Amino acid sequence: MTAAPTNAAATLQLRAVAKRYGDKTAVAALDLTLYPGEFYALLGANGAGKTTTLRMIAGLLQPDAGSISLCGHDLATAPVLAKQKLAFLPDEPLLYGKLRCSEYLEFIAGLWQIDPTQAAKRGEELLRWLELWPQRDNYCDSLSRGMQQKLTLVGALIHAPQVLILDEPLTGLDAASSRKVKDLLAQLARDGLTVLFTTHILEVAERLATRIGLIRAGQLIAEGSLDELRARFGASDSTLEDVFLSATFDGAEALGAVGRTV
């Protein structure tokens, strides 16, 4: 595992991003920088502000303060250019039950306004890779939950995004599908795709992430490679789970580490 590369232009940059829901602070002055090819896991307990952060990056929630830029385009001033580079997958599949799989992909190609021939070619490749090709003319609601999750991933990748935001990407997948998706994401990251994901399955983050950020009460309390986090929060043979529990539940110590780590 490697730490953040600093010699490339950032694909995703959050500067002092904040969001409040009434009196509750969901995200507080969050800074985050991701580079091409990075596989970044944003981890935190329930209600820590992970989903709010992802939804702000996807343009679904307006930050109260701060700025977000995607591949150099500010999301607030050039949203169309910024979103062109982005794909977002929430934990619930983004499907239309009564569209056929191929129609669903055609709709996404229309939304991202990509060349129909290229979109069809890429869609076919992805469907075949994720073993959904025989289902291409079935209605989305006739697919199993795992298949729906895979189809949503095909929809996200059909427009060749540079930043992929995933909220619990492996929910509902069987072991074989889970492996396929992980392999595909790892391959895409090697090809330069930036992946930001959240998960509660820490083994997934441990295996895939090149950098891990720990978030609590809307604040990034630590980030770094697994080895770096181990060095700060546990022994050298600690699992990510040990590190996570130590960092997110030992309040004073963890907050003390913020200055040293971030």
Partner 1 sequence: MKLAPGGLPWLVFWDVRIRTRTYGFGGRPLLALLIYGGLIAAVHGGAWLLLRRFGLNRPIDLAAPALIAIYAELLLLLFAFMLMAAIASSFRLLHSGRALTLQLGSPLPFGRVLLAQVLSLVFSTWSIPLLFAIPVANVSALLGQPVLLLIYPVTIALAVCAQALTLLFASGLLRLFGVVRMRRLMPYIQAIVPLLIVTLNLFERGNPRSQTHNADFGQWFEILAAPMRLPARAIAGEPVALAALLVVAGLLLWLALRAASRGVRVALTTPDTVAAPAARRQSASAGLRFQRGLLRAMVLKEWRTTVREPRLAISLLATPLFVLPLFYSRLFTGQFSPSMAVVAALLATAQLCQRTANLTISAEEAPALLGSAPQARGRIIAYKCAAALLPVIGLMSIAAVWIGYYDPWRGMVCFVCGLGASFCLCAIEVARPYPAPRRSFVQVTAGRRKRNPLDILAILFVELGWAAGAWFLAERSLWGALIVFGVLVVPFLQWWRDANKQSLLGYY
- Interface residue list for partner 1 (CB under 8 A): 55, 58-62, 75-76, 79-84, 86-88, 90, 94-100, 102-103, 105-113, 116-117, 119-121, 123-124, 127, 135-139, 141-142, 155
Question: Closest distance between partner 1 and the C-beta of residue 246, in Å?
Answer: 33
Q: What angle do CA 35, 161, 94 make, to 5 degrees?
A: 120
Question: Closest distance between partner 1 and the C-beta of residue 94, in Å?
Answer: 4
Strands lying side by side in the sheet with 73-74: 24-34, 12-21, 65-70, 73-74
Q: Which is nearer to partner 1, 98 or 179 (CB)?
A: 98
Question: Closest distance between partner 1 and the C-beta of residue 51, in Å?
Answer: 11
Could you give the CA distance from residue 34 to residue 70 in angstroms, rounded to a whole number? 10
Q: Which is nearer to partner 1, 102 or 239 (CB)?
A: 102
Residue 70 in tokens:
């995607």
Q: Which is nearer to partner 1, 94 or 245 (CB)?
A: 94
Residue 198: closest CA among 229, 244, 135, 155: 244
Could you give the CA distance from residue 25 to residue 143 in angstroms, rounded to a whole number? 38
Question: Closest distance between partner 1 and the C-beta of residue 247, in Å?
Answer: 30
